[in-house]
Amino acid sequence: MEKQKLSFRFDIRAYTLVIALIFIAVLFTVLTDGGFLTSRNLSNLFRQMSVISILAIGMTLVIVAAQIDLSVGSIVGLTGGIAAILQVWYDWGTVPAVLVAILAGAAIGLLQGWLVAYKAVPAFIVTLGGMMVWRGVLLGVSKGETVAPLHESFVQIGQSYLPYVWGYVLAAIMCAAIFYGTARRRQKRARLQLPLNSAASDYGKAFAYAVILMGFTYMMNRYYGIPIPMLIVLVLGLVFLFISTKTGFGRYLYAIGGNPEAARFSGINIKAHMLSVFVMMGALAGVAGVVLTGRLNAATVGAGQSFELDAIAACVIGGTSLAGGTGSIVGSIIGALVMVSLDNGMSMMNVQPFWQYIVKGSILVFAVWLDIATKNKS
Amino acid sequence: MYALEMKSITKEFPGVRALDRVTFSVKKGEIHALCGENGAGKSTLMKVLSGVYPDGTFTGDIIVNGRKQRFKSIKDSEKAGIAIIYQELALVKEMTVGENIFLGNEPKTFGVIDWDTLYLEARKWLKSVGLEINPETKVKNLGIGQQQLVEIVKALSKNSDIIILDEPTAALTEAEVSLLMEMLRQLRKRGVTCIYISHKLNEVMSLADSVTVLRDGKTVATHPIGELTEEKIISLMVGRTLTELFPYEPKQRGEKVLEVKNFSVYSPYQNKQVVRDVSFSLHQGEILGIAGLMGAGRTELFTSIFGAYEGKKQGEIRIDGRPVTIKNPRDAIESGIAYVSEDRKKYGLVLDMSVRKNATLAALDKLIRNGVIDEAAEVSTVNRFIEKLKVKTPGLEATVNNLSGGNQQKVVLSKWLMNEPKILILDEPTRGIDVGAKYEIYKLINELVRQGMAVVMISSELPEVLGMSDRILVMAEGRIVGELTHEDATQEKVMMYATGGGASGKTEAVLSI
Ligand SMILES: Nc1ncnc2c1ncn2[C@@H]1O[C@H](COP(=O)(O)OP(=O)(O)OP(=O)(O)O)[C@@H](O)[C@H]1O
Ligand SMILES: [Mg+2]
């Protein structure tokens, strides 16, 4: 009984976020005479959010470990540029070009992580420097030119869609997985004699997720199908959700962010974990760079500029604390959705760009204030 | 005349009723002790009184000097003359004593701080309580005990006439404790009312005028001290009589597990030796007590052995006869050493994490199958320890920050016992733990030792070291200056070694820190 109350309390935050999202969606739908909620626009919106979401996934880990990475925007630009240059200038195939781009991202992460973890240079400084350095490197290697066009197969990474049938098959498999997972979790909790939510509420939740999933697939299929970048986000999101909640590595990141001294005394190798986090962030930024280049069918010098701020904002809106130790992948992805919905909705309404900045900035501060205010209440 | 009456106070947290119609009355000008087991609700009651939990988050009445009060914040309760001093010190370390005393309260002329007046006033206040500290020294240069006294002066300077001390002596040396008690007695003469929370019943007996006992969030009784003995208080606290405090049992001493030779440790800050050329050994099946005054180098010695001290070290460590190099806690854990730190909030716990996650933090490797944490195994392991140590918590998922101090300490203990170490180093293991639970922990330690574990117990509580150890090493100024067996050891002998020979008085040697 007590347990139920507790878990409900913890979820309230996630619900506020979802409620805010619904509110934004309804608001824009009304203001755009339904334009916001069309399949076409939603499909666009999800493609737009993919790059920021991928960055936000990595950034969540970084921030949970009480670090920061300001260089990801520049890494996105540089890795996207590397892939494009290899393909356009040196005629590499898509697969090797993509792999090299991701490895380049990981290598940059390795260097930065090494400086942070083993040389004790604050992450803020290392990655602020990185932000300038990698942008400079991009400018140098691309000689300031826009590199285009890419092969059809590369462009597909950012622009193509999953065929209708596959979309439904995938959705059906995921629905089955949700129900199976719920049933298994209930069995396990019953075996351990842990307090159980009522069957109605557990399966009701699973049913709600299934409906959302199917609705989403239907909406996407009414346009061209589920966008591939969205699928990439989904897969990466699931992988990192698993890493952050089910593995020792993930658990240790939260401990390190929450209290590094206690983590050290518990025998956790803080430096190695820190290094890995930056490597993961770098590799994810590489993936984001590839997706962005594919979507734009070009690599430009300015690609990815200020994406780091969007990614950090997404995490913060999603409930990740910059002090470290708390945060979730799902929250951050929803945070990214909020940010991108605002962009998208306001663009549709032809709101002037200066207003867009003002609104997004205000919402960021408002979200954190709300979070703090509700936390103090309870 | 009552200085303070709290009537029918009820305070609930999600899933716990921390206070259940508690009644608490304190006479003017007395020292009133508040006793009770871990999680009985003592700290919560005081937080209600001082406005940390504002009016409306609890039910019941607070009457101060005959007037009913509704505190919306700590500021309100300060205005009504109530000051609370937490165990965790709330001083700004980089500021001077004077600045700290008047923080937020500085004497000003036209908005500019009048430093001369500030230091003059600070000096007056310090003197009035018999403290010989220069108000212009930085707080970080004072010992913990003196910092505690500065906190009290700060409270007084706000003209508080009710002062609450929540476990003020948990981290103090005996000398500092007697200094504090002396000061409280002086305050009593001046008519200041004092509420004193402590698990050290000898202090309560010698200091308090009346005692109120809480159990499971309810008031059990209030008695004048004349009607009470330590045994009586204990039986009111735990609801049964406890015949012996230290369940010592002679043990079968086994193989040598740990041998430390010519071990020295240097401070990471100055080029100073904090442990000097120490050699000792530890055997299976024994409890080795480490006594000494604060600053004797005990914690430095053992955190170095555990690989967690930042300063340089030198010397040889052998485990089971084989030399080992321990560069970090990971190495130490792998060689079978566990170290329960004296500062649980800083080194022991991730406060925002759940009880479950904290408890398994050091032993998670054992719970990982194919790279994934086996949550079923995790839950059942943690449950086993929670039952064994009688941790009072609303559940495994409760945030550890919401547990009472003593229960947090038990979570730290579980965390290390889960690792099944060969060598268990306990640094002030029962700090903040109530008598009943202490007894349970001692019995548990005995059981572990019987099964072959070797235990090092560092403790500033002499009765504990004397009562539980098979052998006692006394440290002073970084050296081991004496070794005593369980039979030989007495308080006097230990103090004699600890203070560097002749002195029989416990206090003089340290008062001049
Ligand atoms: N913020 C909180 N949220 C939830 N539960 C709490 C919170 N603070 C205290 N509790 C619970 O209230 C009860 C009383 O706690 P309290 O800290 O008052 O105990 P205590 O008597 O001071 O114990 P100790 O001697 O260990 O310090 C405990 O069961 C504790 O878990
Ligand atoms: Mg307490």
Residue B379 forms contact with A (CB below 8 Å): yes
Residue A375 forms contact with B (CB below 8 Å): no
A104, A54, A28: which is closest to A308 by C-alpha? Answer: A54
Q: DSSP letter at B348?
A: I
User: Could you give the dihedral angle defined by the CA atoms of residues B418, B423, B424 and B428, in that order, rounded to the nearest 10 degrees?
Assistant: -170
How far is B184 from B195, CA to CA, in rounded Å? Answer: 10
How far is A337 from A17, CA to CA, in rounded Å? Answer: 10
Nearest chain B residue to A187, by CA: B376
Q: Please indicate whether, in this complex, the C-beta atoms of B372 and A325 are within 8 angstroms of each other.
A: no
Output b/e per residue, B110-137; b: 16+ Cβ within 10 A.
Answer: eeeeeeeebbebbbebbeebebebebee
CA atoms within 13 A on the CB side of A323: 6
Residue A377 forms contact with B (CB below 8 Å): no
Beta bridge partners of B16: B13
Least CB–CB distance from B376: residue in A192, A246, A326: A192
Least CB–CB distance from B350: residue in A1, A7, A262: A262
Residue A294: CB atoms within 10 Å: 26
How far is B295 from B341, CA to CA, in rounded Å? Answer: 15
CA of B167 to the centre of ligand 2 (A): 7
B257, B265, B259: which is closest to B296 by C-alpha? Answer: B265
Identify the structural domains of chain B with CATH numbers, from first to last. 2-240 (3.40.50.300), 245-498 (3.40.50.300)
CATH number assigned to the domain covering A40-161+229-351: 1.10.3470
Q: Whose CA is nearest to atom 28 of ligand 1?
A: B39
Nearest chain B residue to A2, by CA: B15
CA B203 vs. chain centroid, Å, equals 14
Alpha carbon distance, N-terminus to C-terminus of chain B: 41
Q: DSSP letter at B488?
A: T
Q: Whose CA is nearest to atom 2 of ligand 1?
A: B402
Domains of chain A: which residue ranges? 40-161+229-351, 164-224
How far is B2 from B161, CA to CA, in rounded Å? Answer: 12
Query: How confident is the model at residue A375, as a pLDDT?
Result: 64
Residue B353 forms contact with A (CB below 8 Å): yes
Please report which ligand is nearest the Cα atom of B212: 1
Q: Please indicate whether, in this complex, the C-beta atoms of B14 and A255 are within 8 angstroms of each other.
A: no
> Does residue B39 have its Cβ closer than 6 Å to ligand 1?
yes
How far is B230 from B445, CA to CA, in rounded Å? Answer: 24
Query: How confident is the model at residue B511, as a pLDDT?
Result: 35
How far is B178 from B164, CA to CA, in rounded Å? Answer: 18
- CA distance to partner chain A, nearest, from residue B417 (Å): 12
ipTM attached to this prediction:
0.84
Q: Please indicate whether, in this complex, the C-beta atoms of A2 and B371 are within 8 angstroms of each other.
A: no
Atom number of ligand 1 nearest to Cα B407: 26
> Does residue B98 have its Cβ closer than 6 Å to ligand 1?
no
Read off the pTM: 0.85
Are A158 and A299 contacting, i.e. CB atoms less than 8 angstroms apart?
no
Q: Give contacts of A324 with chain B, Cβ < 8 Å.
A: none
Residue A33 forms contact with B (CB below 8 Å): no
How far is B188 from B238, CA to CA, in rounded Å? Answer: 30
* Residue to substitute in B43, B57, B409, B440 for testing ligand 1 pocket (most ligand atoms within 8 angstroms of CB): B43
Q: Note down pLDDT in tens along chain A; length 378 residues.
A: 333 444 444 456 667 788 888 899 999 999 999 899 999 999 999 999 999 999 999 999 999 999 999 999 999 999 999 999 999 999 999 999 999 999 999 999 999 999 999 999 999 999 999 999 999 999 999 999 999 899 999 999 999 999 999 999 999 999 999 999 999 888 887 887 777 778 888 899 899 999 999 999 999 999 999 999 999 999 999 999 999 999 999 999 999 999 999 999 999 999 999 999 999 999 999 999 999 999 999 999 999 999 999 999 999 999 898 889 999 999 999 999 999 999 999 999 999 989 988 998 998 898 888 777 766 554
Interface test with B, best of A264, A266, A377 (most B CBs within 10 A): A266
Q: Whose CA is nearest to atom 31 of ligand 1?
A: B403
Nearest chain A residue to B416, by CA: A266
Query: How confident is the model at residue B513, as a pLDDT?
Result: 32
Nearest chain A residue to B376, by CA: A192
Per residue in B361-407, pLDDT (tens digit) is 999 999 999 889 998 899 999 999 999 888 989 889 899 998 988 89
> Does residue B347 have its Cβ closer than 6 Å to ligand 1?
no
Query: How confident is the model at residue B316, as a pLDDT?
Result: 94
Dig out the tokens for B297 from the structure: 């180098």
> Residues with Cβ < 8 Å from A210, sequence gap 6 or more?
A175, A178, A179
Amino acid in the structure at residue B323: P
Dig out the tokens for B323 from the structure: 């030399």
How far is B336 from B315, CA to CA, in rounded Å? Answer: 19
* Residue to substitute in B37, B44, B400, B409 for testing ligand 1 pocket (most ligand atoms within 8 angstroms of CB): B44
Q: Give contacts of A248 with chain B, Cβ < 8 Å.
A: 364-365, 368, 371, 373
> Does residue B392 have its Cβ closer than 6 Å to ligand 1?
yes
Are B394 and B17 contacting, i.e. CB atoms less than 8 angstroms apart?
no
How far is B293 from B174, CA to CA, in rounded Å? Answer: 8
Q: Give contacts of B333 with chain A, Cβ < 8 Å.
A: 267
Residue A259 forms contact with B (CB below 8 Å): yes
Atom number of ligand 1 nearest to Cα B398: 4
Helix, strand, coil share of chain B (percent; to 5)? 35, 30, 40
Are B118 and B98 contacting, i.e. CB atoms less than 8 angstroms apart?
yes
Nearest chain B residue to A325, by CA: B352
How far is A36 from B40, CA to CA, in rounded Å? Answer: 56
Least CB–CB distance from B346: residue in A1, A255, A261: A261
Q: Beta strands of B296-429 (E only): which ranges?
A: 313-319, 322-323, 337-340, 368-369, 372-373, 423-427
- CA distance to partner chain A, nearest, from residue B301 (Å): 15
> Does residue B46 have its Cβ closer than 6 Å to ligand 1?
no
- Name the stretches of chain B with pLDDT < 50: 502-513
Q: Please indicate whether, in this complex, the C-beta atoms of A268 and B361 are within 8 angstroms of each other.
A: yes
Say whether the peptide bond before residue A353 is cis (omega within 30 degrees of 0).
no
CA of B404 to the centre of ligand 2 (A): 5
3-state secondary structure of B67: strand
Residues 181-210 of A with CB under 8 A from B: 188, 191-192, 194
The single residue listed with the structure tokens 């734009």 is A296
User: Could you give the dihedral angle defined by the CA atoms of residues B274, B280, B286 and B288, in that order, rounded to the nearest 10 degrees?
Assistant: -30
Crossing angle of the two packed helices A199-222 and A164-191, in degrees rounded to 10: 170
User: Could you give the dihedral angle defined by the CA atoms of residues A199, A202, A204 and A206, in that order, rounded to the nearest 10 degrees?
Assistant: -130
